[in-house]
Amino acid sequence: MKTAAFLLTALTLLAATPPAAAGSEPVISHTARLTFDVATHSVQIVDLLEIPAGVDHLRLNRGMTITAIEAADGAQGDVRLAVQASDDADDPILELDLTRLGLGDRGGRLVVTFGGTFLESVADAVFSRENVGNEITATIGEEGIYLSSAAEWLPRADGTLAIHDLTIMTPAGFETVTQGTRTVHETAGAVLTTRWVAPDPSDGINLIANRYFVHEEPVREGVVSQTFFLEDDARLRATYMERTKAYIAMYEEMIGPYPYTKFATVENWFPTGYGMPSYTLLGSQVLRLPFIPYTSFGHEIAHNWWGNAVFVDTAEGNWCEGLTVYCADYHYKAQESPEAARSYRRTLLKDYAAYTKDAANDFPLAAFLSRHSGATRAVGYGKSMMVFHMADRMIGREAFLEGLRRVAREHNFSKAAWSDFLDAFATAGGRDLAAFGDQWLNRTGAPFLALKDVAFADDKVAFTLVQSDPAYALEVPVVVTGAAGPQEHIVALAALEQEFTLAGTGITRLAVDPDAHLFRRLHRQEIEPTISQVLADEDPVFVLQDAAAEMTAAARAFAASYAETEDFTLVADGTLPQPGRSGIIINPPATRVKELAAPELVVAGSTVFVAGKRYSLKDYDLVFAGFDRGDGDATHLVVLCDSTYRLEALARRVGHYGKYSWLLLPTGQGKVLRGNWETGDSPLAAARPR
């Protein structure tokens, strides 16, 4: 038992190296030995902690029982004196007072022996649209072991980071995975011993074990790709291995060296979609969705640079999601085509308009910490990404990437703030970005632009740009179409109202920011009705008319599932809701369908024409968003589905397609067809009168 001997040595000699410094964050070092008993759902832990100066309290999961505390000098701490259970119901923890152990806040070494029993039902674990929370934090059993950092299963302290060296005893047949490098893997009798060494600081640690098929392939010298799958699926494995190598290569070129020795794709037996330092934990279903390897999987890998290695200094707001989206989700669209990138940016602007329709939901980026609603996502992810995009356009791609690389290099395993990025961009681009940063980070809202007094002449076009008060300093793209085709000009707008003249020959058209490069509040005419506008209404009204009893029951089930609560409003007489509120209108009469349908949609009996193509409502259920022409501000959702059985299931599916205007969902097997209605004429464009 080589491993056990090693741990014993470590505990006896207390010879671990001092914790690395990470910026100003103190780092706690753990050298721990964990013994799992899945039959009794329990774990026993002996943790040797090296505590830096300045830390005088530790927290631990309340479900743990501490049986011994030994200080470095061999003195036995009195558990009864040093450990207290907090009586805060919202924060039920055990508190270790280091002063009572004679350590004070000088730091030092401590061996804590503790254990606990953890069993949570994963039966109800779902991946919800917005209601994150109510998640599994810790469970130990035959079906798997899962200890999340939120469970605080190792002693920790607020405002600190930790490094880990874990030796883990599990039943033979289980495989463990966590952050770091696996340095020991030995089976002796019925026990598997694995050791994971994670020398880089992190703000928490998750541990997973299950009956995995483990595979490993090299990515490059010093980095491997691993898969931990519950089935030995060679095709699935090949996809994730290939994607891991491709993403790591792409981001090493874009940002800098991959910060870890492995990246593992880990299958979970209940629904999750988490990215952790050097691995991702995906539920069985999510793992098998065909688009995941090409979308959110890359996002999780990008987080190994942004968030896992470069930490967020939240004092100036959380920049991390916006930048990760910019380097991942958005970047993949930009690689696909300029049109796909434009559509992505427009979706962000439309989401922002929808989710901040109630201005009380808006807030400055500097106040963003984490996503917990559509509005926090629209600002914390969407606006944030657009700030990086605008900076990229202002200083140019090469300087932008140079700035990113500098932050990644200088803040490896330490905190970075928005100002670190802005400083790096300013240096690389040779521009002062102080005012740029101030207006986008500290102000709530977005500029709203208007175009007036457009005068076309043979060799020029004159126009006036107007913006909402107080003015932003903006570099506004203006596309002028002349004899030589469309050409983009950048005009600097800093006043509330400013006149410009652009030269060209044979100018026929002028459009202000037609490609949505600026973060701005869109005009109503620039937005087509989309499902997300309905999703943004936190309290929509469900509308039925002349429905049979079974359909009414199915509509109630649909409403409960859609609203994620039993507390919803349902009207049965076809009345549309009050102005400004969205209705979800289930199987309305033909006249109502016609009222709400875009010009490209015609429903005649069970035949549907969408943009000239013909479908049958026997083959598809139809869901579409439409503006209420009587109410300038409301978007309604119409659902045509004649099956009580399918209706309830539709509620959850619709939430995945927020950016679209219409969906045709096959009644049997097949692909969901979807698309967007055309927008109206933009008030930010003008054509030369003929």
Give the Cα separation of 76 and 66 in Å (integer): 13
CB of 480 to Zn ion, least distance (A): 38
Q: How far is the CB of 306 from Zn ion (least distance, A)?
A: 8
Length of the chain: 690
Q: How far is the CB of 658 from Zn ion (least distance, A)?
A: 17
Pairing assessment for the beta strands 108-117 and 42-51 based on DSSP bridges: antiparallel
The Cα 447–Cα 467 span in angstroms is 6
Place of tokens 């395993």: 413
Cis peptide upstream of residue 529 (ω within 30 degrees of 0)? no
Cβ proximity to Zn ion: between 193 and 308 the closer is 308
Collect all residues with Cβ–Cβ distance below 8 Å to 321 and sequence separation of at least 6: 371, 380, 381, 384
Q: Which is nearer to Zn ion, 94 or 385 (CB)?
A: 385
Q: For residues 509 and 250, what is the distance between their CA atoms, to the nearest angstrom?
A: 39
Backbone phi, then psi, for 585, in 5-degree steps?
Answer: -105, 115
Nearest residue (CB) to Zn ion, 175 versus 321: 321
Give me the least distance between CB of 18 and Zn ion, in Å please: 33
Radius of gyration of the chain (CA): 29
Structure tokens at 590: 């033909």
Site for Zn ion in 304-323 (CB under 5 A): 321
Site size for Zn ion, by CB under 5 A? Answer: 2
Distance CA 49, CA 446 (A): 48
Q: Which of 279, 200, 196, 216 is nearest to 21 (CA)?
A: 200
Q: How many CB atoms lie within 10 A of CB 645?
A: 9
Residue 428's φ and ψ, nearest 5 degrees, are -70, -35
Task: Give dist(CA 656, CA 229) in Å, integer.
Answer: 26
CB of 659 to Zn ion, least distance (A): 18
Q: CB-wise, 327 or 598, nearer to Zn ion?
A: 327
Q: How far is the CB of 159 from Zn ion (least distance, A)?
A: 23
What is the rounded CA–CA span in Å between residue 79 and residue 82?
Answer: 5
Q: Which of residues 333-392 bind Zn ion (CB under 5 A)?
A: none
Q: Which is nearer to Zn ion, 145 or 301 (CB)?
A: 301
Q: CB of 326: closest distance to Zn ion in angstroms?
A: 11
* Helices marked H in 483-548: 531-535
Find out whether 278 and 310 touch, Cβ atoms under 8 Å: no
DSSP state of 471: P
Residue with Cβ nearer Zn ion (138 or 348): 348
Spell 654-683 as b/e; 16+ CB within 10 A means b.
Answer: bbebbbbbbbbbebeeeeebbebbebeebe
The residue (of 326 and 400) whose beta carbon lies closer to Zn ion is: 326
Using the minimum distance from each CB to Zn ion, give the nearer residue, 110 or 378. 378
How far apart are alpha carbons 194 and 207 in whole angstroms?
Answer: 12
Shortest distance in whole angstroms from residue 254 CB to Zn ion = 17
What residues pair up with 46 in beta bridges, in sequence order? Answer: 33, 113
Nearer to Zn ion, 165 or 321 (CB): 321
Cβ 380 to Zn ion shortest distance, Å: 10
Instruction: State both tokens at 436.
Output: 């740029």
Q: Which is nearer to Zn ion, 267 or 321 (CB)?
A: 321
Sheet holding 449-456, edge to edge: 449-456, 460-467, 497-503
CB of 148 to Zn ion, least distance (A): 17
Q: Which is nearer to Zn ion, 75 or 150 (CB)?
A: 150
CB of 376 to Zn ion, least distance (A): 13
Shortest Å, Cβ 321 to Zn ion: 5
In the sheet that holds 673-675, the strands lie side by side as 569-571, 541-543, 583-586, 635-640, 620-627, 662-666, 673-675
- The distance of closest approach from Cβ of residue 330 to Zn ion in the complex, given in angstroms and rounded to an integer, is 12
Which pair of structure tokens corresponds to residue 242? 């290939």
Which residues sit at the interface with Zn ion, rule CB under 5 A?
Answer: 321, 324
